[in-house]
Amino acid sequence: MPEFHYTATDLSGAQVRGKINAANEVEVSFFLKKKGFRHAQVASRPFPEIVHPEKVHPVAPAQAVNPAQTVAPAPMVNQPFAQHSSEGYQTPSSGSPVATPAPRVGPKPYASLLSKKEVFFLFGQLSSAVKSGVALPVVLDRFSQSGHKSAHKSAFAELAGAVSAGTSLGDAMRARPDVFEPHLAGYVAVGETAGRLPEVLDELANSAFEVQKLFKSGNWGAIAMIGLAVLAPMTLAMQKGAMKAIELQDKAGGTLSPTGTVARTVAPNLAPSVIAASIGVAVLYGALAIWKLGVLRPLRQRVESAAPMLAGRAKEEAFSRFSKSLQYLSQAGISPNLAVPLAIDSIPNDVVREQYRQLVGSIREGVPLSAGLMRVLKPTYRDMLEVSEITGDVPGALQQISRMADDNLERKTNLAGIGLKRTAWAVTLFLGAIVAGILARDWYLGLFNYFANAN
């Protein structure tokens, strides 16, 4: 491998320099960033021995860093993914690595997660800002002033400060797991590492929109169920009142006012039915609100990865995001042993993400990508990747695989939407049939008993 020279600043503010063997400058920046160095410069030739005193902070002898021991790529190569998953893999497009924020006792994970609608709007605006050249801290600070939840305001304020100080956006997002889901930070890290941040932000916004649209597919069924919860007890009350009115009219020889008689008999039964309907609607809305709570996110992830209508889509979404991340990282020159853990961190579903970690394991340096991904690639994809490794066009093959994965995801999403609609209406019709059966039975029995007593 070629030899690269670097100069950087460590966490104590001391300036250090050294050399390292790596495939390219991007990998050197990646290693330096993992070691916690800032403001790195990488070159193929030694830097001149010039140190600006005003830029070097004095360091006590015990805190001095031995440049020869600053970065060693070997320990980073063969580590399992479990050791990579919670750390930043972020090299900004500017090429300056940023230290991962120190561990902190942060807020409870998933406590105030951004909704899909909020992700769609916020990440879309971030993408527009990056494309137009507006500094991210400016936009993030604006978000902190316009948010509705205090947790969101504080999160964006922290992000603005951290990014201004040189921390990568992905690492700053990881420090607020109460607001940002893990895959958002993971995919943002891919975008920053590969220099494709605008595209990644756009894709996250569009993905949130598609998921929101998918789960709205069953809304009409939910509305019908709420209507059923309101009308069923009221209809039962009116039926009982009508039967009572018939009895009163019969006893009075038909001399009573029809309207007044029905009103007097229905009113006593209607009040409890209205209370029952209100309780039913409150229970449905309460159950829906509880299901959307951030603390139940792990349960929702397990349901999505196991439910018949959603499991296929969750797996296709995982592979689509995984292959797209590998495409971006491969095009940026990141080696497979570094790119794969980054790509795994970008998978949206927690359950499927852990499955990928178990199936892939760790890819050693120099192992072909097709061999390392043998257990997660379909035979067709594996053959494409093997051929591309021979021809030297791995990024092109990954781009083709990513396109096919996107097509499969779109098909699975459409099927899931149709399935949710049909299920919602099937449940509604089933419950409606039960209520209709109860009404018909009570009406029939009421008339039967009335005529039996009359005879």
Tell me the domain boundaries of the chain.
3-60+68-74, 116-215
pTM, full prediction: 0.68
For the segment 253-261, the average pLDDT, to the nearest whole number, is 67
- Whole-angstrom CA distances from 215 to 58, 298, 417 are 57, 17, 7
Is the CB of residue 182 less than 8 Å from the CB of residue 350?
yes
CATH of range 116-215; options 1.10.1740.10, 1.20.810.10, 3.40.640.10, 1.20.81.30? 1.20.81.30
Among candidate residues 86, 91, 38, the one with its CA nearest the CA of residue 329: 91
Mean pLDDT lowest among 206-210, 257-261, 394-398: 257-261
Residue pair 365/297 in contact (Cβ under 8 Å)? The answer is no
Cα dihedral 374, 375, 376, 378, rounded to 10, equals 70
Distance between CA atoms of residues 78 and 80, nearest Å? 6
User: How many H helices and E strands in the chain?
Assistant: 17, 3
- Averaged pLDDT for residues 349-368: 87
Least confident of 5-9, 43-47, 157-161, 323-327: 43-47
122/152 Cα distance (integer angstroms)? 11
Q: How many CB atoms lie within 10 A of CB 192?
A: 23
Region of poorest pLDDT, from 53-67, 199-213, 215-229: 53-67
State the pLDDT at residue 219.
63
Please give the Cα distance from 167 to 172 (Å, whole number): 7
Stretch 433-448: mean pLDDT: 69
Q: What is the pLDDT of residues 275-332, one digit of tens each?
A: 777 787 788 778 878 888 888 889 999 998 898 888 999 999 999 999 999 999 999 9
Pairwise pLDDT comparison (78 vs 385), residue with the higher score = 385
Looking at residue 215, its pLDDT comes to 77
β partners of residue 43: 5
Instruction: Provide the mean pLDDT of the chain.
Output: 77
Dig out the tokens for 322 from the structure: 């995984």
